[in-house]
Amino acid sequence: MSEACAIGSRRRGEPVLGTASRARRWVLLEHPGAWGPDAIRGSRLPAAVVERLITWQRELPARILLIRRPGGGRSGDGLAMFAGVSGPTGSWLEELRLDRADDVAEVDLDALRGGASVGGRALTRPRYLVCTNGRHDVCCARDGIPVARSLHTALGDRVWECSHVGGDRFAGNLVCLPDGQFYGHLDPASAHRAVTAHEEGRILLEHWRGRSCHPFAVQAAESLVRKRLGIDDDAGLEVVDSQVQGPRVAVRFRRRDGGHLLATVQVTATAPAERLTCAGTPSPVPAYHLEELVVQ
């Protein structure tokens, strides 16, 4: 039997930096039923609801995820739905309550395209998503379910299991909303450390995949600079802009004290290629190296 992708990734010490799935808009729908490999199309939701979710995914565009309570059951009367934005200049998340799944077809999220409120209840505390979609990749269920249940015990209704978020080989995977920060290679103990850091405005760099609002190379640059300078304060470093220069990316940062840094990161591919999912074939994996860091 071949080695599970997450086990292989941990064994070879693969860095998780620069791997947060790209997303600036989010739509989450509570659906306690079974999820297929393609969670939305395989969810047995009404056809009109599936079509609506796929349309939002394509036209807003938004990352659409199905969510459920760890251990099963519903969150209360009806169903929970969330919509929000993870952006470089601001993030927010709102909750809507639906009587039944069919009501999704009547929800208007056009304002989300422009980053505006959709009329839901504004949330002031983070929500945490743990990918447990085992039908997509067995690693997500094997490593994600213990993380989700442990965090749920501590944080209650702020924790949800979710469908595929990307990066199966980094299971257990955690997404912190509304900021769009991703963590990977988590077990229950490290997941609690990541959440504690997030609640305190810090970043657990060892397991940090990056921010979903930035391109992968920019995510990697931020992580590499933070590690080089020992900056785990979330507000201590801010991406200003970036420029692709062939196989290199130059990223300019602003520090909390107002000073600027210019980081040059080289992007290469690992050899040999690795399996990115348990069912996938080997593919090249990007690797990032901090070539230069200049104080401006």
What residue ranges do the domains of the chain occupy? Answer: 5-199, 215-295
Mean of the pLDDT values across residues 4-14? 87
* pLDDT score for 2: 61
Q: What is the pLDDT at residue 67? A: 97
Q: Which has the closest alpha carbon to 261: 217, 238, 222, 294?
A: 294
Read off the tokens for 96: 């809507």
Residue 296: per-residue pLDDT:
86
8 vs 229, higher pLDDT: 229
**Helix residue spans in the chain (DSSP H):** 5-11, 47-59, 110-113, 138-155, 188-199, 216-229
* Mean pLDDT calculated for residue range 235-262: 96
CB 78 within 8 A of CB 98: yes
pLDDT band for 13, please (50, 70, 90 cuts): confident
136: pLDDT strictly greater than 50: yes
Q: Does residue 59 have a pLDDT over 70?
A: yes
Q: What are the two backbone dihedrals, phi and then psi, of residue 271, each rounded to the nearest 5 degrees?
A: -135, 130
- Per-residue model confidence (pLDDT) at position 1: 43
Q: Write out pLDDT tens, residues 69-80.
A: 998 877 778 999
Report the topology of domain 5-199.
Answer: Glutaredoxin (3.40.30)
Alpha carbons 193 and 60: distance in angstroms, whole number: 34
Is the pLDDT at 221 greater than 50, yes or no? yes
For residue 286, is the peptide bond before it cis, meaning its omega torsion is within 30 degrees of 0?
no
pLDDT tens per residue across span 16-35: 999 999 999 999 999 987 88
**pLDDT confidence of 50, banded at 50, 70, 90?**
very high
Q: Which residue has the higher pLDDT, 271 or 66?
A: 66
Q: Is 47 exposed, middle or buried (0-12, 13-18, 19+ CB in 10 A)?
A: exposed
C-alpha 42/C-alpha 45 separation (Å) is: 8
What average pLDDT does this structure show over 133-145? 91
Strand ranges, E, within the chain: 25-30, 63-68, 79-87, 90-98, 121-122, 127-131, 159-162, 174-177, 181-183, 208-211, 237-245, 248-255, 260-269, 274-275, 282-283, 286-295
Is the pLDDT assigned to residue 90 strictly greater than 60? yes
- Contact (CB, 8 A) for 56 and 109: yes
Select the CATH number that applies to the domain covering 215-295 from these four: 1.10.10, 3.10.450, 3.30.750, 3.30.70. 3.10.450
Mean of the pLDDT values across residues 273-282? 78
Residue-averaged pLDDT of the chain:
94
